[in-house]
Amino acid sequence: MNFEEHAGKPLLKAAGIPVPEGATATDADGAAGIAGKLLAGGGKVVVKAQVPTGKRGKAGGIKLAGSADEAKGVAAAILGMTIGEHTVGKVLVEQATPFTREFYAAVINDPETKGPKILFSTLGGMDVEEAAEQDPNAMRSLAVDIRKGPDAAAVRAMLDGAGLDGLEDAVAEVLIKLYDAYTANDAELMEINPLAVLEAGGLIALDCKFTMDDSALPRHEELAKTGTPDKLTGLEAKGKELDLKYIELEGDVGVIANGAGLTMTTMDVVRHHGGVPGNFLEIGGESYTKGTEALSLVLDNPKIKSLVINFCGAFARTDVMTEGILNAWDELKPTLPTFWSVHGTGDVEAVAMLKERLGVDPLPDMSAACKAAVDAAKNAGDA
Amino acid sequence: MIIRGNHKVIVQGITGKQGTFWSERMMEYGTKIVGGVNPKKAGTEHIGVPVFGSAVDAMKGLDGGFDVSILFIPPMGAKAAALDAIEAGAKAVVCLTEHIPVQDVMYMMAAAKERGTQIIGPNTAGGVTPGECFTGFMPAFNDKIFRPGNVGIISRSGSLGTLMCLNVVQAGFGISAFVGIGGDPIIGTTTRDALEALDAFEKTEAVVMVGEIGGAMEEHAAEYAAKMNKPMAAFIAGGAAPPGKKMGHAGAIVMGDKGTYKSKADALSAAGVAILDTPMDVGPVLKERMG
């Protein structure tokens, strides 16, 4: 789950990393009110669009203001703006912070070392891709044994020769605190970009990107409420409610399969035969009893012109999945051309059930089933 | 490691519904299950084997100890169970559980590395050594899918791996071992680890790898495949998938351009591996490569 800047920064602050003072508003008057308070001590404020995507500055979603009135105007312009695929509904109003340098700092889950990795670069304030283009060797990294946490001397050593001009100890301290924020919140990614050097001296986190490991959500129920749920279509939201993995796609061939790998492959084979899948829907694992819900979900998409049902049972029993689909079939009586491929655990029972209740045989393999579904969708399109 | 019929196996979580059901299937097939673990039922007997309070107790209490532990444990309890098995001195731990918090997984991995324990998974359907044993929840007893033979199969996905075995058997070949490595981003036995194990396994004469988009495991496996003598074919799932959940920026830079279908297919092709357009192509390719 992604967290917007305003939800991530308090976690940095809790770990002892300085962040600018500020608050969020959902309308221009609210933004003006916050700006008024922050400007009492002079200086400027920065008004920042809160959307879970990068490149906010380039899109015009980050603006400075020198007065409450100006902040109101800027906030009115930013609120309602579209950045990426997100509509801005919230702004963060913060004290603007004059700085001299920008660094990059992050802690990530690293599949190579199978542990956490601390990253640091002096090329901050830009995309990591951009920074990598500018200097592929700028990124420094340190693998950490999660049982022990980062070793202070090793963190200090990773900064040797980075050109920090005496800031090494201060940066090392921030990196260790960032690591604490990463572990305390079950992060996949805890990133500060930029980590700025203040004109007045010292370091401050001017942005925060935090992604929580979805598998850890059950142990962070309160925090999860401040996260930004994935943007879902109506059907995807319904799928989520039913606890099914459903992704709506642009094509007209419906896909139901068990297991992520098999479902992806079914989509590949539909493409291979010149068709375009209309959805990803897998009912494997513990949701294999949800055939009924799965069929109704696929049928709810008016773009779908044919359907391929591809089961290969291991843990998920094909007879249980087939029975679920057939129960929904009796109720919904769809006219959609549907092609089956059924193999693995429970297949003898499943095939008998298909014959008895629908009067159909599965096709010999998934390639034949996908091809038949692609042809049927094309014919329906021509008609 | 390839789990064999003579390995002594315990099941942590043996008394649960799934643990019981699949332990019985494994025993029927030939897996040498010698005990189970449930802290609340220590000292009792379940489906004919003794139940211990911990894997450490099982190692001490069983005559000759055990080699492998299979975890039928819910996500939030998996770390403690795996650490118990590692401390007990298990040679391998098969971790079937899906949705274990990744930081728990990394903790398990660090402990396993230190003790030399091989973790398989998490989020794997298990493995099958046809004619000998199976671990996890695989339809090993279906001989249309797991007929014994000389082709080794590696797969992240249980269902897709099963389909690949089916296609191999339909083409007239048999399976030497199926290694389900699991679908999580961080796993104990990588594609390359499994490839090395199958290369060293005397019953295996060819390898079929079932990969997926994401990560860099297939690219690493390609480095080993380049110097392997046994013929190899690979199918990579997800070529038609739209760009999915974006990796974090930091992840993107660590990975570089690895993770795409093209990157994997190119790396494997360059290593002399036959790339399969669909899983159904495996038969003809094996016939050609195995002569």
DSSP H or E stretch at residue A21:
none
Percentage of chain A modeled with pLDDT above 70? 98
CATH number of the domain to which B273 belongs: 3.40.50.261
- Chain B contact for A21 (CB, 8 A cutoff): no
Residue B131 covered by a domain:
no
Residue B105 covered by a domain:
yes
Q: Is the domain of B111 the same as that of B192? A: no
- Mean pLDDT of the region A300-308: 95
Written out in words, the top-level CATH class of the domain with range A234-382 is alpha beta
What are the domain boundaries of chain A? Answer: 21-95, 99-224, 234-382
Q: Is the domain of B35 the same as that of B76? A: yes
The rounded distance, in Å, linking the Cα atoms of B208 and A199 is 59
Q: Is the domain of B157 the same as that of B78? A: no
More confident residue, B178 or A130: B178
CA-based nearest residue in chain B for residue A282: B159
Closest alpha carbon to A189 in A11, A367, A33, A375: A11
Residue B90 covered by a domain:
yes
ipTM above 0.90, yes or no: yes
Q: Is the domain of B276 the same as that of B182? A: yes
Q: Is B249 a catalytic residue?
A: yes
Interface A–B counts its CB contacts (< 8 A) at 190
Residues of B (176-205) whose Cβ lies below 8 Å from A: 183, 185-186, 188
Query: What is the average pLDDT value for chain A, to the nearest integer?
Result: 93
Residue B210 covered by a domain:
yes
Q: What's the CATH fold of domain A21-95?
A: Dna Ligase; domain 1 (3.30.1490)
- Band of pLDDT at residue A200, cut at 50, 70 and 90: confident
pLDDT digits (tens, 9 = 90+) for A34-64: 999 999 989 999 999 999 887 898 899 999 9
Residue B132 covered by a domain:
no
Q: Mutation target for A interface from B163, B255, B281: give the one with most A CBs within 10 A.
A: B163
Give chain B positions within 8 Å (CB) of A257: 159
Q: Is the domain of B157 the same as that of B268? A: yes
The pTM of the full predicted model, rounded to 2 decimals, is: 0.92
Q: What is the per-residue pLDDT for B249?
A: 27
Residue B137 covered by a domain:
no
Q: What is the per-residue pLDDT for B213?
A: 84
Asked whether residue A107 carries a pLDDT value surpassing 80, the answer given is yes
- How many degrees, rounded to 5, is the angle at CA B168 between CA B164 and CA B172? 160
Q: Is the domain of B83 the same as that of B170? A: no
Rg of the Cα atoms in chain B: 19
Q: What is the per-residue pLDDT for B250?
A: 32
Q: Is the domain of B103 the same as that of B13? A: yes
Residues of A (232-291) whose Cβ lies below 8 Å from B: 249, 257-262, 264-265, 267-272, 277, 280, 284-285
- Chain B contact for A116 (CB, 8 A cutoff): yes
The rounded distance, in Å, linking the Cα atoms of A284 and A258 is 4
Closest alpha carbon to A204 in A19, A30, A367: A19
Asked whether residue A66 carries a pLDDT value surpassing 90, the answer given is yes
Q: Which burial class, exposed, middle or buried, applies to B120 when counting CB atoms under 10 A from its CB (0-12, 13-18, 19+)?
A: buried
Total domains present in chain B: 2
The answer to whether A265 contacts B279, with C-beta atoms less than 8 Å apart, is yes
Q: Mutation target for B interface from A114, A120, A123, A209: give the one with most B CBs within 10 A.
A: A114
Q: Hey, is B95 helix, strand or coil?
A: strand
Residue B161 covered by a domain:
yes
Boundary of a domain, candidates B120, B153, B186:
B120
Residue B217 covered by a domain:
yes
Q: CB atoms < 10 A from the CB of B191, how many?
A: 29
How are beta strands B118-120 and B92-95 bridged, if at all?
parallel
How are beta strands B126-129 and B133-136 bridged, if at all?
antiparallel
Asked whether residue A208 carries a pLDDT value surpassing 50, the answer given is yes
Per-residue pLDDT of chain B in tens (291 residues, 90 and over written 9): 899 999 999 999 999 999 999 999 999 999 999 999 999 999 999 999 999 999 999 999 999 999 999 999 999 999 999 999 999 999 999 999 999 999 999 999 999 999 999 999 999 999 999 999 999 989 898 888 999 999 999 999 888 999 999 999 999 999 999 999 998 889 999 999 999 999 999 999 999 999 988 888 999 999 999 999 999 999 998 887 766 433 222 333 334 456 788 899 999 999 999 999 999 999 999 999 987
Domain A99-224 has CATH 3.90.950.10: no
Give chain B positions within 8 Å (CB) of A54: 249
Q: What is the per-residue pLDDT for A188?
A: 94
Q: Is the domain of B266 the same as that of B172? A: yes
The rounded distance, in Å, linking the Cα atoms of B78 and B105 is 9
Which token pair is A233?
A: 């279509």
The answer to whether B159 contacts A313, with C-beta atoms less than 8 Å apart, is yes
CA-based nearest residue in chain B for residue A105: B250
> With helix as H, strand as E and coil as C, how does B41-83 read?
HCCCEECCEEEECCHHHHHHHCCCCCCEEEECCCHHHHHHHHH
Amino acid at A25: A
DSSP H or E stretch at residue A88:
none
Give the structural domain span for B185. 142-290
The answer to whether B216 contacts A111, with C-beta atoms less than 8 Å apart, is yes
